[in-house]
Amino acid sequence: MSGEMTTMLAEQSRLGRARVMPWIRRLIFYLILLSIWEGIVRLEIWPPYLFPGPLIVANALWEGVTQGLFLPAALVSLRRLAIGYSISLSLGLVLGLLLGRNKLIQETVGSLVLGMQALPSVCWLPLAILWFGLNERAIIFVVVLGALFSITLGVEAGVKNTPPVYLKAARNLGARGVRLYTQVLLPAALPAILNGLKQGWSFAWRSLMAGELLYYTLSLGNLLQTGRDLNDAAQVMAVMVMIVIVGVTIDQILFAPVERRVRERWGLA
């Protein structure tokens, strides 16, 4: 009895350690990385205004945030992203379903989508500026195109790989029309759709940053550009850190929980 208890406790502490150890290893890795960075800076191969050390960058990040510059900029970028991504999401779901279910659309529009996917969406920016002017609409257009095709292709793949027996079973149980799409096809395709959504999100984020480099209003991408104009490498690096933080945070908040739930339900590892 007590022997059982001890083995159970030992097991639990082993599991606890297994959870903490990766974090400790990660921490050590980053500490080493920062020291190497600092070490190279100390060699003074490049002047510090071009290649600042981690402390100076951290300071620039702190100042950028406390002086009320970085957070409003991040909000501007996130707002554009949210609008653009929502549009791609709605269009992509519909388009993907159509592509997955209709042979004619698949043969025609499908080839176009594949071609568009090969074109980095920031290539659309010059055209968008000609059409819309250097304004919100042009940049949101680019964000939409950034995410649209990945989402479309993800939905299409999901729908095509759905075992037909699910549809048969659903029809057999009385499901008809639109409900076959909303209650069977979409949920059945969720794992593949989620991949498309994640890829679309990262493409949208990249296109947005690239696009914002050309803009004069406050935004994360624009802060990179002003940092360059001011010859302030520390600000540029601080903004880059900021962009990474925003990207990772959104991934963790938006996608990680959904992904965990899908894995749990489907019984994927």
- Interface ranges with another protein (CB under 8 A): 165-166, 168-176, 179, 183-184, 187-188, 190, 264-267
Which CB sits closer to another protein, 111 or 183?
A: 183
Which CB sits closer to another protein, 123 or 169?
A: 169
| 268, 262 Cβ separation under 8 angstroms | yes
Which CB sits closer to another protein, 111 or 182?
A: 182
Give, in order, the Cα–Cα distances in Å from 87 to each of 61, 77, 122, 170, 191.
32, 16, 17, 30, 21
Which CB sits closer to another protein, 83 or 262?
A: 262
- Least separation in angstroms between CB 191 and another protein: 9
- Least separation in angstroms between CB 217 and another protein: 43
Which CB sits closer to another protein, 132 or 181?
A: 181
- Least separation in angstroms between CB 225 and another protein: 45
- Least separation in angstroms between CB 266 and another protein: 5
- Least separation in angstroms between CB 93 and another protein: 16
